[in-house]
Structure 1
């Protein structure tokens, strides 16, 4: 045709040179709370990790305190054995001297040796337990056992008095319960985010910038450009992926909720167990104190009777054993009172605050 004579038959290219400076903006309207719930779940999960850290710190603190007072109980036990060993050594020297002078019996000497050897063996076992607990305490606080040395107590410590009117609301302060509650709330937020996936998403888009074929007019007012738009996206079929994700989120929430409820019930159980242990350990401590005083009086009377020739050596030995057992029982009951107090403090979350004046 006449109009196409100036165009060659071979293919040709057109080169256009342009300069573009765009600023693209996009914003998804969170009508259904998908992103809001995801952000909430992430924040709650972070707080749950903080509660987990506090729970681990509380467990470590309780372990350190428990090991410390176990160690102090063993050290007090060692002092009792030292006192008993000294008395038995004096008794052995006394009966050996009487036997050498021909006024004593060989049986008294051998019996004194038996009592001394048994007490020394018990003392050695106690020293072994002291070393083990010392090493355990050093490991708990991050110290090398060979360089760790704990100073002795200058005076006996008394367990703290726990308020009797502790309300049930204080259990919320337990870090493990707080962690479980935060995880449950986070999973609930994830359920909301999974549910929002079923609804369409709306996105607002916009662009600002400059477009020019030359650099001279690139940033001029005539080269400006802008655009606005809106998008709506909806998945018609995804192989039930969203539905399965929604069901899985509900299952995780049910698991977190069950874990939370079980922790609350277990917290009440731990508090009641600790209260019962503390109450009966204190009662047992008082009874053992009575038994200790009575056994010491009985030992004094039996020694007086033996010195006057009214009774034999076996009665004195029996009373010595009873006195030693009573002293150890009273000391162990005092240590058990400390352990029960520590367990109650841990069950209450490590603190109870200024609740009331009445105490356990």
Structure 2
């Protein structure tokens, strides 16, 4: 047996290093422009030192964001779902890797029995108690090993496929986390804008109340018709109605924020604050950096690798499979002295399995695997193109809105001054009510537009950070062997 075991070990080492059928993976080229489309006011950034990293939301300098964002990766239920999907994928790597090694077991049995003596003249057993043989005990103890050597690399391709799938699942977890983080930042910005709009409308209501008082005084003096008083009151009540309606939006944003951080809506209370987050400058780098910094691109790329390995698994079905079996142990009846060398038994065996005719089954499976791989290539390239479009859209929005914000600030200044002059002139009797009321409405509209522009700039910035990967990098993908072996 010593020689047999040595030969078995040598065979194991040789076969584990055998060939692998099917194509080796090489990442296909993806369309990538040398730079983003230049826009007025935009300059190229250097991402290596300045790219968003880690707690990217801290650049908005908002206390609520800083408090809640770390909770997303821990308490958000969508993120937790993605996490456990990743853990499942790691376990599947272990399952696949186990196929590379022998299955070793041990079996034992013990039997106690009594048989009847046979009547030698008739060949039949008698029924009296004195004709039974003494009770005998027999038993066996045997170790066995079974191994299907991975000669053609089918199991190794399966391991390769499962490892790539696990990394895709890990990137999906990163993508889910980033998506929920940007959703939270968006909800917080929306909430801050609602609070700012609330303050703006409250100030407008106060101004309209004062304007109504002026109009009523003019009406009491007989210098303005009663219809002007009614119009002024209607304008005030319309602003009050809009102010009340903001309460619904605020409640909905608070509820959304609570769910994003894994809380019941009634468990989170956010105080009023009209202070908008700061508008950070986001360096974007070269388009090619998106291939490493966006987790959804990493998902698509790892899916390609998994499907490529699946082609090798399908191709391996063309080749015969081998199974080696060995057993070594003891068998004895009666049981006494079971482990004596004289009771030693062993066996060696091998099975070969090869399909001769399958009427196109394997050919169809290989063709299907190749088609799935080509589909994953197209998905990868489309994901890359979509990423470039997202980044370009965000850059265009941020750049153009910055220009609009400058113009809109001037509009607000002019509208505010125009409304002040119009109200004074109305009090002096030099202009009619319609002129003053229109000036007041124009002022409110200009202020609301300015707030909306600022809101959109903040949202586009959050979107840009998300579309650039939020500081994530494909280099963070784990070595699935280490991850699974440590479990």
Fold equivalence (TM over 0.5):
yes
**Which residue of structure 2 lines up, in the alignment, with residue 278 of structure 1?**
398
Distance in 2 separating the partners of 1:255 and 1:277 = 32
Counterpart among 383, 401, 408 of residue 288 in structure 1: 408
Q: Deviations over 1:198-242 (max 9, x none)?
A: 112233332221234443442123332333344433221234332
Deviation at 1:167, TM superposition (A): 4.6
Which moves more between the two structures, 109-118 or 207-216? Answer: 207-216
1:145-202 Cα offsets, whole Å, 9 max, x none, are 3443212337432122210424522343322222222222112111101111111223
Residues 1:348 and 2:481 aligned together: no
Asked if the contact 2:193/2:274 (under 8 Å) is kept, the reply is: no
Corresponding residue for residue 357 of structure 2: 237
The answer as to whether partners of 1:27 and 1:205 remain within 8 angstroms in 2 is yes
Alignment partners' CA distance in 2, 1:135 and 1:155: 20
Matched, 1:186 2:306: yes
Q: 1:219 to 1:83 in 2, by over 3 A?
A: same
In the alignment, structure 1 segments of 5+ residues that lack a partner are 1-6, 354-360
The DSSP-based 3-state class of the residue aligned with 1:226 is strand
CA-to-aligned-CA distance 1:327-355 (integer Å, 9 cap, x gap): 010000000111111111121122269xx
User: Is the 1:27–1:204 contact (alpha carbons within 8 Å) kept by the matching residues of 2?
Assistant: yes
Deviations 1:272-313 (A, max 9, x none): 111111211222222111111111122233334444444333
2-structure distance, mates of 1:174, 1:17: 69
Instruction: Please report how far the alpha carbon of residue 130 of structure 1 lies from its aligned counterpart in structure 2 after TM superposition.
Output: 2.4
- 1:47 corresponds to 2:133: no
Aligned twin of 2:328: 208
Which has more radius of gyration? 1
Q: C-alpha root-mean-square deviation of aligned residues, in Å?
A: 2.8
Cα distance in 1 for residues equivalent to 2:347 and 2:264: 69
Please give the alpha-carbon distance, in whole angstroms, between the structure 1 residues aligned to 2:214 and 2:327.
107
Structure 2 stretches of 5 or more lacking a match? 1-119, 126-132, 474-487
- Partner residue, 1:80: 200
Distance (Å, rounded) in 1 between the aligned partners of 2:164 and 2:150: 20
- The Cα of 1:141 is off from its aligned counterpart by 3.4
| CA offsets 1:243-265 (integer angstroms, 9 cap, x no match) | 22222222322222222221111
Partner of 1:29: 149
Q: TM-score of the superposition, structure 2-length normalised?
A: 0.64
Give matches, 1:154-173, under 5 Å. 155-173=275-293
State the distance in 2 between where 1:117 and 1:21 align. Answer: 94
Distance 1:283 1:198 in 2: 65
CA gap of 1:143–1:228, structure 2 versus 1, over 3 A, is closer
Q: Report the CA distance shift for 1:164/1:136 in structure 2 as closer, same or farther (over 3 A).
A: closer
Deviates most, 15-24 or 222-231: 15-24
